[in-house]
Amino acid sequence: MKAIQMVDLQSQYYKIKSDLDNALLNVIDSAAFINGPEVRTFQAELEQYLDVKHVIPCANGTDALQIALMALDLKEGDEVITADFTFAATVEVIHLLKLKSVLVDVDYDTFTMDTEKLKAAITPKTKAIIPVHLFGQCANMEEILKIAKEHNLYVIEDDAQAIGAEFTFSDGTVKKGGTMAILGTTSFFPSKNLGCYGDGGAIFTNDDELAFKIRGIVNHGMYERYYHDEIGVNSRLDSLQATVLRKKLPLLDSYNEARRKAADFYDEAFASNPNILTPKRAEYSSHVFHQYTLRITNGKRNELRDFLATKEIPAMIYYPVALRKQKAYFQDSDPKDFVNTDKLLDEVISLPMHTELDEEQLKYITDSVLEFFEK
């Protein structure tokens, strides 16, 4: 059996190697490393895939979030609500821009923002909400957009973990994650569902004015060469990364399908074990399984992780600490308001999840997990 990894980027690369290597060599030969035709073509192809008017590529998913917030002209101290249970980048950029983060609990079953708790967190100072489509599934965007409309708030979807996931609204409309709100952002970090071979990210919007503004912000606030109308950043996707992404974008749906198949295998194996809760698939969103995250309800999550390590099966705890308890963003809060997050911190464990898992590996992983509970 091939060694099991959390993410197997090498085997995925070998399947497209000759085609991709040629394309990369052509870019090097052209010397169009920055803002070359590959970047513009990728941008247009992603706009088409997502059915969104504007994709603005940038250097990484953290920049994408920061730039999206910068485009909204928020003032120091304005409040931005996001989830307590997610990767730190989402809250980090709020603080970087001297805005105030307000963290809310997540739903125990979907790991995404709890919309009742979102409502309770809104104050007159609230200006924006950043729902995170965590682990590959969209947050409850219909409800979040409704709440945002009622309170006149901006919404930025953090789609770093769910590119390709689809949300179905109650009227039957289907939209891709990242394209439902005024702004969406993503990351092309190598292990993401659509990953490049370095860093990369993008911002999505259907709003022409915001798109224009953001294209300036990513380029030093320049709208005319060497005239700087506002404070911007230097945040670019380079041509080599765009070339990788151009080769992988047509495969994204099949990559996501491969992840779903692996998730189906896991789901079936664990369905009747009383100590394991498998990830819930919400009725409103397809799941692209950026992570496959179990909840271990008998208090033995850490022992399971150690046992799997003895079997050379990697497993990760995403995430071990609530953002509100991190030194950098500490918020003195009532634990009663965060019961789900606090429970999840002790229960979650993510199993290997990528496009190259074969049945032998999946069987070995599931047998090993079940063996742990039979001990």
Torsion sign over Cα 20, 286, 62, 305: negative
Rounded Cα–Cα distance for residues 184 and 179 (Å): 6
Q: Is 187 in the site for ligand PLP (CB under 6 A)?
A: yes
Quick one: 155 or 304, whose CB is closer to ligand PLP?
A: 155
Quick one: 88 or 370, whose CB is closer to ligand PLP?
A: 88
370 and 272 Cβ atoms separated by less than 8 Å: no
Question: In the complex, what is the shortest distance from the CB of residue 192 to ligand PLP, in angstroms, rounded to a whole number?
Answer: 7
**Chosen residue from 81, 83, 89, 183 binding ligand PLP by CB under 6 A:** 89
Q: Is 112 in the site for ligand PLP (CB under 6 A)?
A: no
Quick one: 275 or 291, whose CB is closer to ligand PLP?
A: 291
Active site residue 192: yes
Question: In the complex, what is the shortest distance from the CB of residue 191 to ligand PLP, in angstroms, rounded to a whole number?
Answer: 8
Rounded Cα–Cα distance for residues 81 and 48 (Å): 30
Q: Is 66 in the site for ligand PLP (CB under 6 A)?
A: no
For the segment 124-143, give every residue that binds ligand PLP (CB under 6 A). Answer: 132
Kindly give, in sequence order, each residue whose CB lies less than 8 Å from that of residue 246, ignoring residues fewer than 6 positions away. Answer: 23, 38, 41, 42, 45
Quick one: 90 or 219, whose CB is closer to ligand PLP?
A: 90
Catalytic-role residue among 117, 192, 213, 248: 192
245 and 201 Cβ atoms separated by less than 8 Å: no
Tokens 């634990």, residue? 335
Q: Phi first, then psi: what are they for 156, rounded to 5°?
A: -120, 120
Question: In the complex, what is the shortest distance from the CB of residue 200 to ligand PLP, in angstroms, rounded to a whole number?
Answer: 7
DSSP string, 327-374: GGG-----GGGGHHHHHHHHHEEEEP--TT--HHHHHHHHHHHHHHHH
Q: Is 193 in the site for ligand PLP (CB under 6 A)?
A: no
Quick one: 86 or 126, whose CB is closer to ligand PLP?
A: 86
Q: Footprint of ligand PLP on this chain (CB under 6 A)?
A: 60-62, 86-87, 89-90, 132, 158, 160-161, 187, 189, 199, 201
